[in-house]
Amino acid sequence: MGNFRNDKESKNCEKAQDKVWEVFRRKRIIVNAWTLGIYPRYWTEPESYIPKRFLDSFIDIKGNNFDFVPFSAGKRICARFPFGLINIEHPLAFLLYHFDWKLPSGTETGNSDMTESFGATLKR
């Protein structure tokens, strides 16, 4: 294993490698994608829902721009992000095409309760 002069040198190298891996194992880095997505330095009106902001933008979701990383980036980017996207776009397009949508009576755009809370699914 490797170009070592003797067994002792080889063993020492293995020990050093083990130590390096031990350090790696103990470190965990979590990228806060949510904060990046609402960082005022990068986004105008970061808390507003403005889909048009992406129309003339070079920013995409393929992990090339670290200001927007819903599928992460780099080597461990979501393995099936095109499938994930299609599964949102396709049903949404069907719902919009097949139904006429209107707000419940007494409701106006802008007065929906958008208070944040935690959970996989949320009720209005």
Residue 60 CB, nearest approach to ligand HEM (Å): 14
The single residue among 49, 83, 97, 101 that binds ligand HEM, judged by CB under 6 A, is: 83
Residue 37 makes contact with ligand HEM by CB under 6 A: no
Reported as type and span, the H/E element at residue 86 is helix 81-98
Site for ligand HEM (CB under 6 A): which residue of 20, 55, 79, 114?
79
28 contributes a contact to ligand HEM by CB under 6 A? no
Please choose, out of 40-48, 81-89, 92-100, 108-116, the segment that lies near ligand HEM by the rule CB under 6 A: 81-89
Residue-by-residue DSSP string for 2-59: -S-SSHHHHHHHHHHHHHHHHHHHH------HHHHHT-TTT-SSTTS--GGGGTT---
Q: What is the rounded CA–CA span in Å between residue 53 and residue 46?
A: 10
According to the binding rule CB under 6 A, does residue 29 interact with ligand HEM? no
Per the listing, tokens 């090339």 go with 64
Contacting residues toward ligand HEM, per CB under 6 A = 70-72, 76, 78-81, 83-84, 88
